[in-house]
Every structure is written in structure tokens, then in C-alpha cells.
Structure 1
């Protein structure tokens, strides 16, 4: 099972390997690499890569509670790309993974070739305010 260590955390990841164009596909909150690899079937000319975010799947440790953020998850992904020696890559994600992917694209535009967002389940305001607004409609 492939692991790498960053920030004193042992991260689990999956990688098809090979020389094809790398596509890092990130799971949603509470998910793991099974979610992304289950949706993205093996395809010619694409190197599939995914990791379990801290506190998800086989990445058991999570550090401090403040480390659960798009910014920190993005830094974890960048650590994986550095570990795998990937300079440019395509990035995408489902829900929380989409938020992390967008964060990466905004912070590291020179490293991102393509951006794919699937079912982004976040907005530019706290989720609690959104839930109260929806409850009032009923």
C-alpha cells in the first residue's frame, strides 16, 4: 500500500503509475480514494492519482483540528505532487475535493493544467448560515 509522510502524518494514496498525463482526483468530506477511483475508470493517456485527506480513509491521523481546511488539504496535495516529482498536473474533485482543487488552482496556477469541479457543496459563506436559510423555506 503506498504511503508518504508529510507534516508528521502518514498519508495513503493511490497512483496508476506510468508516464501518462497526471490527473489528481480528490474525494469529498468523509470519503476516500475508493470514491474517486470508483468514479474515474482507467483511461488511456491519463495517470490517475488520489489520496485520502487527513482523517479520512487510511490516512488516520489528522493533526490539529485547525488543519481541516481547504488550505491545509491543498498543501497536503502539493506535498504528494512533490513526493511523486510531478510538476504540472490536472486537478479535480468531488464536493470538498472540488473546493480543495479550486484552492490549488488559485494558489498554484503555474502547476495546474486543467481544473475539473464535480458537485461543489460549498459556498463563500459559512454552511450554518446556508442551512438556516433553507430551513426557513419549509
Structure 2
């Protein structure tokens, strides 16, 4: 167990780091799945999510996705993809003997949460898609520039503004750039409108108002029977993560209010 409270487990041969905290007076626990180039600390600890959910009485589980944070860095394209990463999340629940959890995913983590809810519906109680709206089914336009930005010798060689933002964030989170490039170049398993409509768990879609990466929360929620959508006013993709409204709405959703 690391000094920062992270533990490790073997997910079918891949070393995955995770956090398990909170007294857990409220059932079921909450599983948090972070976004691309992020990690548990950046996405969930520093934004106050772990503290907020623990204080509300939840046991909080969060994993560093493969290739990210303190988890194993893999460099092959076949080592990645949301369906595969969803199995890491499912194995973590198995490892901790958790039958069923609420799942909150942000950005890439929302894609992973969707695959988890589709492949293992009995394990997912409520699911929150944060930072990913209609672009979940539309797909991300051209990941090539982002991969090339991550592989560039220096950030100075990156001219594409969006790709440069990703490179800067990856450097800020001290990420393994080769692992991230492999992760984003890996076959992006498509999620169709039909697939997302078949998710049986209650769904909340939450996206920042100016988030061009995630796209409209309302448009995605319309496709999913019974889903709710919230938009965080004046927030972009990165600034929506720790938003107070986002936290309050998620808590109300998990508590069935």
C-alpha cells in the first residue's frame, strides 16, 4: 500500500492501482473511473469527490486505469480499449467482493462505465456519465493528432491546439506518454445509440456547458429511457469535474431524490 493510500491488485496479469476508502454506511459503494491522461488523484481526490462522497456515507473505490497513474504501463495497442478496461473495473469489484456498485465515470471513464453497465448489468446500480454527452455515440473525431502530440519529442513541436492541450495535461499528470499514445490509438470500440439505450441501470448524464469534447448531455439522455441530464453552467471539459452542482446532483441521483 502506497503512502498515499493506493493499493495494488492483479487484473488478469495487469497490475492495477486503486483507492478504497470511506466507512461505507450507505449501500452500495461508489466506483470512480477517471478520464484519459488523468488518474485517481487528479480526477477524484484533488477535485474533492472522494472527500465529498465519503462524507455522505459512501465507501469509495477508485482505480488508476491501465496505462495511467500508478497502474502498469502497457505499450501495445491490444492492451487497451474501453471494453478491456471495463473488465479491470469489474475484476476490482470481484477482488473487493463487491457485488454491486454505483459507477461514476468521467470522459474516457464514462465510456468505460458504459461498457461495464452493458457487459455486467447486475454489477451496476446507478451510473453517471460525466464529461461525455452525445459524443459517446458519435465518437471522438480524429484521435491521430492527439496520439502524435503525445509521441512528439517536445510539446514545442505540437501546433494543433486541442492536441497540445492533451499533451500539456499528460505532462502535468506526469503520465507515461507512450502508454497514453497506445491507449488512444487502440481500436475505439463503438457505442451505438441502440447499445446505450439498452443500459438497464438508472443513468445521469452531466456535462459542462462549454464542453466541446463531451457534447450535449441532453442529446445523450434523450436516447436512454429514463435518463436525466444536467449541464454545469459556464464549465468546460476540465473545469466541470469538480463543479459543486455536479456533486450535489450526483448525490441526489444516487439517493433517488
Q: Judge same fold: TM > 0.5, yes or no.
A: yes
Structure 1 position 126, deviation (Å): 4.6
| Aligned position for 2:192 | none
| Aligned position for 1:31 | 38
Structure 1 position 17, deviation (Å): 5.0
Distance in 2 of aligned mates of 1:60 and 1:45: 31
1:62 to 74, 88, 95: 74
The answer to whether the 8 A contact 1:9-1:63 is kept is no
2:56 to 24, 44, 55: 44
Q: Is 2:10 aligned against 1:5?
A: yes
Distance in 2 of aligned mates of 1:72 and 1:105: 13
RMSD in angstroms over aligned alpha carbons? Answer: 2.2
Structure (1/2) with the larger helix percentage:
2
The answer to whether the 8 A contact 1:9-1:61 is kept is no
Larger Rg: 2
| Aligned position for 1:102 | 114
The answer to whether the 8 A contact 1:71-1:103 is kept is yes
Structure 1 position 44, deviation (Å): 2.8
* 1:63–1:85 CA distance, 2 compared to 1 (3 A): farther
Structure 1 position 117, deviation (Å): 1.1
Question: TM-score, length-normalised on structure 2?
Answer: 0.47
Distance in 1 of aligned mates of 2:65 and 2:111: 13
| Aligned position for 2:183 | none
Structure 1 position 105, deviation (Å): 1.1
Q: Which moved more, 1:96-105 or 1:115-124?
A: 115-124
The answer to whether the 8 A contact 2:111-2:136 is kept is no
Q: Which moved more, 1:75-84 or 1:5-14?
A: 5-14
After superposition, give the CA deviation of every residue in 1:45-95 in whole Å (9 maximum; x if it has no partner): 211110101110001333632221110110000110000000011001110
Question: TM-score, length-normalised on structure 1?
Answer: 0.84
Structure (1/2) with the larger strand percentage:
1
Distance in 1 of aligned mates of 2:123 and 2:67: 26
| Aligned position for 1:135 | none
Q: Is 2:175 aligned against 1:128?
A: no
Q: List alignment gaps of at least 5 residues for structure 1.
A: 132-138
Q: List alignment gaps of at least 5 residues for structure 2.
A: 2-6, 145-257
| Aligned position for 1:16 | 21
Q: Which protein has greater RCO, CA pairs closer than 8 Å, 6+ apart?
A: 1
Structure 1 position 8, deviation (Å): 1.6
Once the two structures are superposed, the pairs formed by residues 63-82 of structure 1 within 5 Å of their partners are 64-82=76-94
